[in-house]
Amino acid sequence: MSKVLIIGAGGVGRVVTMKCAMNPGTFSEIMLASRTKSKCDEIAAAVKKEVGYQKISTAAVDAENVPQLVELIKAFGPKMVIHVALPYQDLTIMDACLEAGVHYLDTANYEPKDEAKFEYSWQWAYQDRFKDAGLTATLGCGFDPGVTSIFTARADKHHFDEIHYLDIVDCNGGDHGKAFATNFNPEINIREITQNGRYWENGKWVETEPFEIKKELDYPNIGVRDSYVLYHEELESLVKNYPTIKRARFWMTFGQEYLTHLRVIQNIGMAGIEPVMHKGQEIIPLEFLKTVLPDPGSLGDNYVGETSIGCRIRGIKDGKERTYYIWNNCSHQAAFDETGAQGVSYTTGVPAMLGAKMMLEGKWTGAGVFNVEEFNPDPFLEELGEQGLPWEERFDVDLEV
Ligand code: NDP
């Protein structure tokens, strides 16, 4: 029974908070803190009414201000912090956790605000400090990164002697009825997908133009969708932790309509992250775009269809080549009915809660900074289905990739 501090009251924060409240045996008391307290209050009210969990409080915090964070953590006294605000705040929250002596978990690796670049080096640099403090920092415990990394760990532990080819496939087969919207924070999402593509092959990174490599892939219960290779952060830790991997790629589906909007946004400069002057005031185009785009948290109402995210793996077991596909499908509507949030927030928030549960129950332990594939995948995957994300696996299938 432990107190937990959740930071970030967006779509993912909503799901994490609801799901922690649904597991009161582990999470005995919750504080939800974010920049805008009214958003925390709205979620807390829903938790009290819909889940019937009363031991929840809220606070305003600037997660880029370490002294403020430390004061809040010390006053509330949680065992750990679940960080589901934005990747810009990873380092300040890690600093605050070290100073206050609590464990840390997040779902996305650090990004500096002024550079559209994400990599683990900044957070891996905290290894010795967390080790010396006897604290655990768990990185990337959403769906991708997160469950996809844990799926890979399962494949390695139970089904392969050597993994050679890893293709992570992420399909959103849902329809929210809007002309253009992103499924999580638009600023972070657009920075991610407009970067050059990158994949690992024969010991080095291969760069591509954005959306240069495309394939039609067939997703369970959804069908064939245009899928594109893009760079995704879990590739960096997976190729380090599984050195037998010869090639690792990440595929994501995009519809033509989405890509057309994205192209226009880029062509007219609205995806820019450099400040521009507007009526005597400095604004960042991408931040302004976020203000006018639909709030991802509001998409749930009419969202139909499913997400399907998994790993397609080829490698060797007992001297023979084998293929393996492991995935989860998640219905946007079912996610919304349960938590008031759409499937992308749900598939991120459930693993974040479950990773925290593993840490608090002593199933994932260790002092230092860990990517999720470094922990035992078994207890996590045993419980993932009953927590809302059932998964399936098939052997010796056509991987298409
Ligand atoms: P939202 O933009 O909906 O929510 C972010 C929340 O963080 C908002 O409540 C925002 O406050 C708050 N916030 C922003 N800056 C600060 C700050 N300085 N101090 C305190 N709070 C702050 O994002 P999502 O819920 O969609 O995503 C949350 C995280 O999950 C992101 O890091 C995203 O990258 C990650 N993610 C991970 C995925 C995975 O599978 N691993 C998939 C999808 C998302 P305010 O309301 O005031 O703006």
Q: How far is the CA of 11 from the centre of ligand 1 (A)?
A: 8
Task: Give pLDDT, residue 123.
Answer: 98
Q: Are residues 267 and 330 in the same domain?
A: yes
Of 111, 139, 167, which residue sits at a domain end? 139
Q: How far is the CA of 86 from the centre of ligand 1 (A)?
A: 4
Residue 201 predicted with pLDDT over 80: yes
Ligand 1 lined by 250 (C-beta under 6 Å): no
Q: Are residues 9 and 116 in the same domain?
A: yes
Of 104, 139, 174, which residue sits at a domain end? 139
Q: Are residues 115 and 165 in the same domain?
A: no
Contact 8, 39 (CB under 8 A): no
Q: Are residues 134 and 273 in the same domain?
A: no
Distance, CA of 201 to CA of 281 (rounded, Å): 46
Q: Which of the listed residues 5, 18, 35 should we mutate to test ligand 1's pocket, taking the one with most ligand atoms within 8 A of CB?
A: 35
Q: Tell me if 304 is assigned to some domain.
A: yes
Task: Give pLDDT, residue 117.
Answer: 81
Q: Are residues 121 and 182 in the same domain?
A: no
pLDDT range class, residue 218, cuts 50, 70, 90: very high
pLDDT range class, residue 375, cuts 50, 70, 90: very high
Q: Tell me if 372 is assigned to some domain.
A: no
Distance, CA of 61 to CA of 32 (rounded, Å): 10
User: Six-digit token pair at 332?
Assistant: 């946007």
Of 139, 169, 200, which residue sits at a domain end? 139
Q: How far is the CA of 29 from the centre of ligand 1 (A)?
A: 22
Ligand 1 lined by 293 (C-beta under 6 Å): no
Residue having the nearest C-alpha atom to atom 32 of ligand 1: 86
Rounded alpha-carbon distances, angstroms, from residue 14 to 7, 20, 59, 362: 10, 10, 15, 25
Q: How far is the CA of 12 from the centre of ligand 1 (A)?
A: 7
Q: Are residues 205 and 323 in the same domain?
A: yes
Q: What is the mean pLDDT of the chain?
A: 96
Ligand 1 lined by 185 (C-beta under 6 Å): yes
> φ, ψ for residue 41 (rounded to 5)?
-65, -40
Q: Tell me if 216 is assigned to some domain.
A: yes
Q: Are residues 135 and 192 in the same domain?
A: no
Residue 399: partners with Cβ closer than 8 Å, 6 or more residues away: 167, 312, 313, 314, 323, 325
Query: Of 117, 327, 94, 139, which Cα lies nearest the Cα of 240?
Result: 139
Give how many domains the chain has, as a whole number. Answer: 2
Residue 58 predicted with pLDDT over 90: yes
Distance, CA of 398 to CA of 283 (rounded, Å): 49
pLDDT tens sequence across 235-287: 999 999 999 999 999 999 999 999 999 999 999 999 999 999 999 999 999 99
Ligand 1 lined by 39 (C-beta under 6 Å): yes
Atom of ligand 1 nearest to the CA of 144: 40
Distance, CA of 209 to CA of 196 (rounded, Å): 5
Ligand 1 lined by 181 (C-beta under 6 Å): no
Ligand 1 lined by 107 (C-beta under 6 Å): yes
Q: Tell me if 351 is assigned to some domain.
A: no
Q: Are residues 113 and 172 in the same domain?
A: no
Q: Are residues 15 and 70 in the same domain?
A: yes
Atom of ligand 1 nearest to the CA of 295: 3
Task: Tell me the pTM.
Answer: 0.96
Ligand 1 lined by 9 (C-beta under 6 Å): yes
Task: Give pLDDT, residue 196.
Answer: 93
Atom of ligand 1 nearest to the CA of 183: 26
Atom of ligand 1 nearest to the CA of 184: 26
Q: Tell me if 370 is assigned to some domain.
A: no
Ligand 1 lined by 188 (C-beta under 6 Å): yes
Residue 192 predicted with pLDDT over 90: no
Ligand 1 lined by 61 (C-beta under 6 Å): yes
Q: Are residues 67 and 153 in the same domain?
A: no
Range(s) of the domain holding residue 272: 147-334+388-395
Q: Tell me if 373 is assigned to some domain.
A: no
Task: Give pLDDT, residue 387.
Answer: 98
Ligand 1 lined by 291 (C-beta under 6 Å): no
Task: Give pLDDT, residue 118.
Answer: 85
Q: Tell me if 401 is assigned to some domain.
A: no
Q: Which of the listed residues 150, 185, 339, 373 should we mutate to test ligand 1's pocket, taking the one with most ligand atoms within 8 A of CB?
A: 185
Q: Are residues 124 and 188 in the same domain?
A: no
Lay out the sheet containing 2-7: strands in order across.
Answer: 56-60, 27-34, 2-7, 80-83, 103-106, 136-139, 368-371
- The CATH number covering residue 90 comes to 3.40.50.720
Q: How many CB atoms lie within 10 A of CB 234?
A: 26
- The CATH number covering residue 192 comes to 3.30.360.10
Residue 116 predicted with pLDDT over 80: no
Q: Tell me if 287 is assigned to some domain.
A: yes
Task: Give pLDDT, residue 191.
Answer: 86
